[in-house]
Amino acid sequence: MKKELPKVYEPQEVEGRIYEMWEKNGCFVGHRDPDKKPFTIVMPPPNVTGQLHMGHAMDSTLQDILIRFKRMQGYAALWVPGTDHAGIATQIKVEEELRTKEGLTRYDLGREKFLERVWDWKAKYGGRIVEQQKKLGASCDWSRARFTMDDGLSAAVRHVFVRLYNKGLIYKGSRIINWCPHCVTALSDAEVEYQDKPGNLWHIRYPIQGETDRWVVVATTRPETMLGDTGVAVNPEDERYKDIVGKKCILPLVGREMPIVADAYVDRTFGTGCVKMTPAHDPNDFEVGLRQNLETIRVLDDNGRVVEGYGKYSGMDRYEARKAIVADLEAGGYLVKVEPHQHNVGTCYRCHSDVEPLISAQWFVKMEPLAKEALRVVNEGETKFVPDRFAKTYTNWMENVHDWCISRQLWWGHRIPAWYCDDCGKLTVSESDPTECQHCHSRHIHQEEDVLDTWFSSALWPFSTLGWPDESSEDYKYFYPTDVLVTGYDIIFFWVARMIFSGCEHTGKPPFHTVFIHGLVRDDKGRKMSKSLGNGIDPLEIAEQYGADALRFNLVTGNSPGNDMRFYTERCEAMRNFANKIWNASRFLMMNLTIDTCELPERLELEDKWILSKLNAVIPEITENMDKYELGVAAQKVYDFIWDDYCDWYI
């Protein structure tokens, strides 16, 4: 009996039903099979706070195409999904909810009760983005979905921390770090976004001690930090200042005596050639301070306010203090001139507040030893970037990488597994919670308050999700190393680099052989989608209107590796028409097909042979495109074959 499909294709009624059938029948489950070659992709874990956006839809679509293609080719294909605990973002969300609904801070609750609230929040909202991915048809093995704070993944984090600490690759020290006064936490170099901003260059007189009417003039973009100045530096080759090197000058408004030192760091051609040294608030000044034995005085607190001991400036916000200090310098006759000056300002990647460089005791990973192998595997082609131009982006960063600041002043996250002894003051670092100090056996110990950078756990994602550090795990042995990482170019430093050096260090193998980089999805005017511009497009709304297939086909056609693409909603209509074309072709065949397959190929007509020859010609072409990650080209060939050859000519 012939089955007749409805006349009109309604994706909203069809897609959900098909997806449910696929999931119910275990179509997405990755099985270990000794007779098959494995093919593994790990999903870049979206934030547990997240709402699906067009970037997620793009990322998911490309991964889905690759994994379905490999399933069709007979691989034991596994696509591992999961979510990230997103330390800063999640804590901020829960703190905002506490403040607005109950008028409370996390300190009112205490650490334990606050963390209970965060876990409750995660239980309530954490699955939202998973359901949204399912609506777009993502064929992940949801039975293996992981969360970065699952027990197994948390155990892997502790194992890695202790291992690196014991190798001398993790240490705690006071260094200049990037600090966000709004999020009130340290940031790594990769979490700082630089923006070109208009500012000023203030030229200020610093009187030379014991000399009447003689001074040095320094130029600064941040007069508020002068409260922490402990020296002035000039270039040793600068003839203008040779006679004052070794003398002292007086810090205006504060009265501090400071040495004038010679250091090759100083650029003779910038400003006046005299540079004020604030070792506690500038990374370069910090290094000069170490060489020249300058005092280190921190003058801003964790909230970006001037610390006690500075008179009327104490308690002022850094920018409020800037205005007051400039006014007082002018009134005191110390301000020579003010010049407009465009300069690069570091901002927090989360809240976009200006980052404050300041000295702080933090935990760091030594990067130089880890970077060597991570560079080798890319330079020698064990891990390839597609397009290969991004390998240069990666290697440039890795060759110049600084030690990674991994501690965060948060409560939500993996708490650092280090315990301080209240009696001997020494440190115990352990995978399991100790009951006593390993040095003096005192039971008076307390754990480090800070948590680890979120990226510390997601750096282990390709192998921690497969059962590592248990190297006897069957999944780990069969599915690792994974094959392809699909991600945007914007997180090469955040995540890709960290996964590569972590995989090399902890498993002895790079975590994937290919990094397939895609661009950003921009609006139809080429602008980045953002809340501030109000130009974001909700992929779920598009899927509801046109169908998930139409949305995803729109995202892949015209897409080329590594390049940004503009999203035109109108094109979704054309893609919905394409889906409708396939539906109608299927409906026509089901109504009219009379040949039994066992009668083939004897009953083939000339036109049948023609379409089969066209199909046999296009299959190897599309396969080659897929193997080269030319997914947009492959999609266009599918479109042309179905629409032009199959429907318009053959049917």
57, 555 in Cβ contact below 8 A? yes
383 three-class SS: coil
What is the percentage of the chain residues whose pLDDT exceeds 70?
99
Q: What is the DSSP string of 39-57?
A: EEEEPPPPBTT----HHHH
Q: Is the pLDDT of residue 552 over 60?
A: yes
At 227, list the tokens.
Answer: 């409260």
The whole-number pLDDT of residue 1 equals 44
* Residues 388-412 pLDDT 10s: 999 999 999 999 888 999 999 999 9
Q: Is the pLDDT of residue 269 over 70?
A: yes
Beta carbons within 8 Å of 571's beta carbon, 6+ residues apart? 554, 557
Rounded to whole angstroms, how far apart are CA atoms 34 and 345?
54
Rounded to whole angstroms, how far apart are CA atoms 476 and 455?
21
Rounded to whole angstroms, how far apart are CA atoms 373 and 170?
18
Rounded to whole angstroms, how far apart are CA atoms 259 and 237?
18
* Residues 117-137 pLDDT 10s: 999 999 888 888 899 999 999
Rounded to whole angstroms, how far apart are CA atoms 192 and 346?
6
182, 353 in Cβ contact below 8 A? yes
Which alpha helices (DSSP H) does 363-492 contain, by range? 368-379, 389-399, 454-458, 461-464, 474-479
What is the percentage of the chain residues whose pLDDT exceeds 90?
76
Q: Which residues of 88-122 are buried (b: 16+ CB within 10 A; e: fewer)?
A: bbbbbbbbeebeeeeebebeebeeeebbebbeebb
The whole-number pLDDT of residue 599 equals 66
303 three-class SS: coil
Identity of the residue numbered 130: V
Q: Is 201 buried (19+), middle (13-18) or exposed (0-12) by CB count in 10 A?
A: middle
The whole-number pLDDT of residue 88 equals 86
Token match 């080209």: residue? Answer: 633
Q: What is the DSSP letter of 353?
A: P
Q: Is the pLDDT of residue 2 over 60?
A: no
Beta carbons within 8 Å of 169's beta carbon, 6+ residues apart? 365, 366, 369, 370
332 three-class SS: coil
Report how far apart, in Å, the C-alpha atoms of 238 and of each of 232, 380, 604 are: 14, 45, 90
Confidence grade of residue 597 (pLDDT, cut at 50, 70, 90): low
At 25, list the tokens.
Answer: 């029948």
Task: Let me know how long the chain is.
Answer: 651
Whose CA is closest to 319, among 304, 332, 301? 304
Asked which of 196-210, 561-575, 598-612 is least confident by mean pLDDT, the reply is 598-612
Beta bridge partners of 384: 514
Contacts 24+ apart (CB under 8 A), 117-122: 118/90, 118/91, 118/94, 118/411, 118/412, 121/90, 121/93, 121/94, 121/97, 122/48, 122/85, 122/90
23, 466 in Cβ contact below 8 A? no
Rounded to whole angstroms, how far apart are CA atoms 158 and 419?
13
Rounded to whole angstroms, how far apart are CA atoms 453 and 383?
25
Beta carbons within 8 Å of 412's beta carbon, 6+ residues apart? 85, 87, 90, 91, 94, 115, 118, 451
The whole-number pLDDT of residue 126 equals 85
Query: The dihedral of CA 319, 323, 326, 328: what is its sign?
Result: negative
Rounded to whole angstroms, how far apart are CA atoms 453 and 414?
8
Report how far apart, in Å, the C-alpha atoms of 277 and of each of 287, 390, 598 are: 10, 37, 87
Asked which of 112-116, 285-289, 351-355 is least confident by mean pLDDT, the reply is 351-355
Q: Is the pLDDT of residue 5 over 90?
A: no
Q: Is the pLDDT of residue 471 over 70?
A: yes
Q: Is the pLDDT of residue 217 over 70?
A: yes
Rounded to whole angstroms, how far apart are CA atoms 173 and 227?
24
Confidence grade of residue 343 (pLDDT, cut at 50, 70, 90): confident
The whole-number pLDDT of residue 463 equals 97
* Residues 490-529 pLDDT 10s: 888 889 999 999 999 999 999 999 999 998 888 888 888 8
Whose CA is closest to 543, among 576, 568, 519, 565? 576
Rounded to whole angstroms, how far apart are CA atoms 250 and 205?
9
Q: What is the DSSP letter of 78?
A: E
Q: What is the DSSP letter of 644?
A: I
408, 185 in Cβ contact below 8 A? yes
Q: Is the pLDDT of residue 558 over 80?
A: no
Rounded to whole angstroms, how far apart are CA atoms 484 and 141?
16
At 485, list the tokens.
Answer: 């990482």
Q: How wide is the angle at C-alpha 600 spanned by C-alphas 594 and 602, nearest 5°?
A: 110
At residue 192, φ and ψ (nearest 5 deg) are -105, 125
Query: The dihedral of CA 614, 615, 621, 622: what is its sign?
Result: positive
E strands, 512-635, in order: 514-518, 521-522, 565-566
At 104, list the tokens.
Answer: 């409370």
At 541, list the tokens.
Answer: 């709304």
Mean residue pLDDT across the chain:
92
E strands, 127-230, in order: 146-147, 170-180, 185-187, 192-207, 215-220
